[in-house]
Chains A and B, each alone.
Chain A
Amino acid sequence: DAGVIQSPRHEVTEMGQEVTLRCKPISGHNSLFWYRQTMMRGLELLIYFNNNVPIDDSGMPEDRFSAKMPNASFSTLKIQPSEPRDSAVYFCASSSNSYEQYFGPGTRLTVT
């Protein structure tokens, strides 16, 4: 049974470029979370979807960040334009209830 799938695993881009991170949640899970992890700030929730609908995007740092979930099996997190301070590991997690989240392997983003 496949876990949460994220792509790409690593992304290096120049400042000002658009970056799109992708996530495929576990089949049957109705909740999807995007997190960002840095040494300075730890693991932070960016946005939460339930049944494909964004419920809480209060963690999205600014308008340069946007997330979509067009169907139950796919979500994207887009940064446009990217900045060096966006460098971090971005995780997607999915859940079928409120108590157990399954994390993907993450995308390590470096913006130069």
Chain B
Amino acid sequence: TQLLEQSPQFLSIQEGENLTVYCNSSSVFSSLQWYRQEPGEGPVLLVTVVTGGEVKKLKRLTFQFGDARKDSSLHITAAQPGDTGLYLCADLSGTYKYIFGTGTRLKVLA
């Protein structure tokens, strides 16, 4: 069974700081997704990456997919309180089954 480990588990930073969170898989990713889940809400898809070495940017968020497709990172520049939430990585296993990571809980203090 594939395991997705995310680190760190918890992160508390001041507004304006930069941060990076990581997702590592026990096997090669098929199709990696990153989600953000705000308190009291469901996860919301941020990005899908498929190709090893791929880099995608979404405003202040930069997503990188490892060359070997077994790891990924999410970098946030100049974090804002609105970035607070649980960040989840997920892999599409087969045609419909998503395996979710353990999550990184981020808190950005004003």
Q: Measuring CB to CB, which residues of chain A are less than 8 angstroms from any residue of chain B? A: 4, 31, 33, 42-45, 48, 50, 55-56, 91, 93, 98-106
- The interface size bin for chain B is 10 to 19
B59 CB within 8 Å of chain A: no
- With a cutoff of 8 Å between Cβ atoms, the chain B residues found around residue A42 in the complex are 100-103
- With a cutoff of 8 Å between Cβ atoms, the chain A residues found around residue B88 in the complex are 43
Q: Measuring CB to CB, which residues of chain B are less than 8 angstroms from any residue of chain A? A: 31, 40-45, 48, 88, 92, 95-98, 100-103
In the complex, the answer to whether B41 meets A101 with C-beta atoms within 8 Å is no
In the complex, the answer to whether A103 meets B44 with C-beta atoms within 8 Å is yes
Tell me the minimal C-beta distance from A94 to chain B in angstroms. Answer: 11
A102, B35: Cα distance in complex, Å = 11
In the complex, the answer to whether A31 meets B92 with C-beta atoms within 8 Å is no
Query: Can you report 14 residue pairs joining A to B where beta carbons are below 8 Å apart?
Result: A42-B102, A42-B103, A45-B97, A45-B98, A48-B97, A99-B92, A100-B45, A100-B48, A101-B45, A103-B41, A103-B44, A105-B42, A106-B40, A106-B41
